[in-house]
Structure 1
């Protein structure tokens, strides 16, 4: 998400997607050259006089011209909301805001139905996630796993997770945070019948590049079940511990 020597300009106005103008300086790269089409990037947009600016996370897409979709605003001159940029040339470059440099992590969410998430009676199933609230460094590449990114020197992390059982069933449930698909002293949350949410958290863990974690869930109702449709109950997070 963070790339060196990436800088372009735009004349797009408003709060929407930016049309990017190719770099005019041979020492600079475009967002698509650095991150690839569909890549997520840190960005800053600012007017030439520097009075209006916006820092955030976006997605660059190849085209004629390439575009930058402004996904998450970290802070801006417009009370940390999207800036309604005026006419004229704006600089667009890749940089990590100082306030983000002190934190690395991701928060995964589940926001849609996906069949029966809890397998038949007392069989562990892997939770699948549908998106992120934030992901500072590409911890999540889709589906079930959170993976420690390579090359960032992350050596200790803490993970937490929560899922919701359908309110209509009475069953004992379990939530397990599993490392690398294998058993380790994983946190396991048993919950008595009638409990709607399952939650677990790890202590700070020593990790290496490429280590991955998943959430396993199981329940004892005697039949396969979906997650609760109260989508705010379901999340999986990782944070670097320094």
Structure 2
């Protein structure tokens, strides 16, 4: 099982309701999902019919017919919830969500900042802390029950890498060696989005807010917030991610490994 993308992948479906989509074959000039995905693979998808549409992360299954489970809905015409599709033909295709492209742009900028700082690279060699970095994500597991009006710690179940072993998986915090550091967090919502509210994502240092980003919601579609900060760590300073829900109702943080993550590096 793997996350995959493919070019010109598009099929039709006559599935109604909010359940798994049965795929009815590739449209003319396009590939089928089965031509690029194996059983259990996941992908980003869009499904559309007239004014009804949704974008999310789906799980493909072989069979007669093959199917695509609507595992995580990121945005839709139904307020980021699964669309109750009526009868008729739907277009189902592989796409890339806008929130994922925004996150990719932020990661690219973050990486360029690290690579362009030649003096910091030389300092890493001198101090013996070269390439001390980490990256963690939620591994597909949503974090639900985020109460309104409360600052809640964001947890991360999967370590993509942890060079030097400075990330504590049980406490969900990074305690880097002394020196200049840069940290970044991205958080996306899966449910509970309310129009015209102002949720925040925080980077905490030693148990207190150190940096944050705020984004006013417009509509109830999928939203992601990113925050980054640079600091001079003393060797015992630690960094964590927290989220403030301003919606007035419980929210759910998306478990998508592409959209909710925490990373950092010694400069």
Scaled by the length of structure 1, what TM-score is found? Answer: 0.50
What count of residue pairs does the alignment treat as equivalent? Answer: 134
SS in 2 for 1:230: coil
CA distance in 1, matches of 2:257, 2:137: 8
Offset, 1:201: 0.4
Give the aligned partner of residue 146 of structure 1. Answer: 174
**What do the CA deviations read for 1:25-78 (whole angstroms, capped 9, x no partner)?**
xxxxxxxxxxxxxxxxxxxxxxxxxxxxxxxxxxxxxxxxxxxxxxxxxxxxxx
CA distance in 1, matches of 2:187, 2:215: 12
Q: In the alignment, which of 108, 113, 117 is matched to residue 141 of structure 2?
A: 113
1:137 paired to 2:133: no
SS in 1 for 2:258: helix
1:218 paired to 2:244: yes
CA distance in 2, matches of 1:134, 1:193: 32
Structure 1 segment 67-146 matched on structure 2, within 5 A: 102-113=130-141, 115-116=143-144, 118=146, 120-143=147-170, 144-146=172-174
TM-aligned CA distance change 1:173 to 1:105, over 3 Å: same
Give the aligned partner of residue 77 of structure 2. Answer: none
TM-aligned CA distance change 1:117 to 1:139, over 3 Å: farther
Runs of 4+ in 1 over 3 A off after TM superposition: none
- The two structures, once aligned, show a CA RMSD in angstroms of 2.3
Structure 1 segment 1-242 matched on structure 2, within 5 A: 102-113=130-141, 115-116=143-144, 118=146, 120-143=147-170, 144-149=172-177, 154-166=178-190, 169-170=193-194, 171-183=197-209, 186-194=210-218, 196-203=223-230, 205-241=231-267
TM-aligned CA distance change 1:233 to 1:115, over 3 Å: closer
| Contact 1:112–1:130 (Cα < 8 Å) also in 2 | no
Query: Which has more helix, going by share of residues?
Result: 2
Give the aligned partner of residue 94 of structure 1. Answer: none
TM-aligned CA distance change 1:102 to 1:117, over 3 Å: farther
Q: Which ranges of structure 1 fall in alignment gaps of 5 or more residues?
A: 1-99
| Contact 1:117–1:125 (Cα < 8 Å) also in 2 | no
Offset, 1:102: 3.7
CA distance in 1, matches of 2:168, 2:199: 27
Offset, 1:141: 2.0
| Contact 1:172–1:191 (Cα < 8 Å) also in 2 | yes
| Contact 1:113–1:226 (Cα < 8 Å) also in 2 | no
Scaled by the length of structure 2, what TM-score is found? Answer: 0.46
CA distance in 2, matches of 1:175, 1:115: 14
